[in-house]
Chains A and B, each alone.
Chain A
Amino acid sequence: MIYQAPGNIAEAIRLLSSNNQQIRILAGGTDLIPQMHTRRVNPQLVIDIKKIPETRSIQFIDGSYVIGSAVTGAELSEHLPLQRDWPGIVEAFDLIGSTQIQSRATLGGNLCNASPAADSVPALIAAQATCRIAGPKGERIIRVEDVVISPGRTSLQPGEFVVSFTLPTKHARSADAYLRLIPRTEMDIAIVGAAACLSLNEEGACQELRIALGAVAPCVVVAEKAAQILVGTRLDEKSLKQFSAAISAACRPINDKRGTIEYRSQVAGVLACRSAKIAFERASRNREGSLA
Chain B
Amino acid sequence: MKNHVKAVVNGEPVEFLCEGTDTLLDVLRNELHLTGTKEGCGSGDCGACSVMLNNRLVCSCLVFGSEVSGADIETIEGMSKDGELHPLQQKFLDNAALQCGICTPGFLVAAKALLDRQPNPSESEVRYWLAGNLCRCTGYDKIVQSVLDVAADMTTGERR
Given contacts A48-B64, A50-B67, A100-B132, 18 further A-B contacts (CB under 8 A): A1-B20, A1-B21, A3-B64, A3-B66, A5-B66, A5-B67, A5-B69, A28-B62, A33-B44, A36-B21, A46-B64, A97-B132, A99-B110, A99-B113, A100-B110, A101-B62, A104-B56, A104-B58
The 4 A-B residue pairs with the shortest CB-CB distance in the complex, in nearest-first order: A98-B132, A1-B20, A103-B56, A3-B66
Chain B 108-120, CB-CB to A under 8 Å as 1, else 0, gives 0010011000000
CA distance A98 to B47 in the complex (A): 9
Residues of B within 8 A of A159 (CB): none
Residues of B within 8 A of A38 (CB): 43
A187 touches which one: B3, B66, B129, B131 (CB < 8 A)? B131
Asked whether, in the complex, the Cβ of B64 is within 8 Å of the Cβ of A104, the reply is: no
CA distance A104 to B56 in the complex (A): 9
Residues of B within 8 A of A2 (CB): 1, 20
Chain A 13-27, CB-CB to B under 8 Å as 1, else 0, gives 000000000000010
The interface size of chain A toward B, counting residues with CB under 8 Å, comes to: 27
Asked whether, in the complex, the Cβ of B61 is within 8 Å of the Cβ of A33, the reply is: yes
CA distance A264 to B131 in the complex (A): 25
CA distance A186 to B130 in the complex (A): 10
Nearest CB of A to B37, in Å = 13
A33: nearest chain-B partner, CB-CB: B62
Q: Is A37 an interface residue when CB atoms closer than 8 A count as contact?
A: yes
Residues of B within 8 A of A26 (CB): 64, 67
CA distance A5 to B70 in the complex (A): 13
Q: Is B42 an interface residue when CB atoms closer than 8 A count as contact?
A: yes
Residues of B within 8 A of A50 (CB): 67
B133: nearest chain-A partner, CB-CB: A98
B26-72 at interface with A (beta carbon < 8 Å)? 42-45, 47, 50, 53, 56-59, 61-64, 66-67, 69
Asked whether, in the complex, the Cβ of B20 is within 8 Å of the Cβ of A103, the reply is: no
B129: nearest chain-A partner, CB-CB: A99
Nearest CB of B to A49, in Å = 11
Residues of B within 8 A of A69 (CB): none
Residues of A within 8 A of B58 (CB): 100, 103-104
CA distance A30 to B62 in the complex (A): 6
A57-112 at interface with B (beta carbon < 8 Å)? 72, 74, 97-101, 103-104
Asked whether, in the complex, the Cβ of A103 is within 8 Å of the Cβ of B64, the reply is: no
Asked whether, in the complex, the Cβ of B44 is within 8 Å of the Cβ of A34, the reply is: yes
A186: nearest chain-B partner, CB-CB: B131
Residues of B within 8 A of A6 (CB): none
Residues of B within 8 A of A5 (CB): 66-67, 69
Residues of A within 8 A of B57 (CB): 99-100, 103
CA distance A5 to B64 in the complex (A): 12
Q: Is A136 an interface residue when CB atoms closer than 8 A count as contact?
A: no
B131: nearest chain-A partner, CB-CB: A186
Asked whether, in the complex, the Cβ of B131 is within 8 Å of the Cβ of A3, the reply is: no
B56 touches which one: A30, A74, A98, A187 (CB < 8 A)? A74
Residues of A within 8 A of B130 (CB): 99
Q: Is B23 an interface residue when CB atoms closer than 8 A count as contact?
A: yes
Asked whether, in the complex, the Cβ of A186 is within 8 Å of the Cβ of B20, the reply is: no
Q: If A74-B56, A103-B57, A103-B58 touch, does A187 touch B132 (CB 8 Å cutoff)? A: yes
Q: Is A204 an interface residue when CB atoms closer than 8 A count as contact?
A: no
CA distance A41 to B150 in the complex (A): 44
Chain B 69-103, CB-CB to A under 8 Å as 1, else 0, gives 10000000000000000000000000000000000
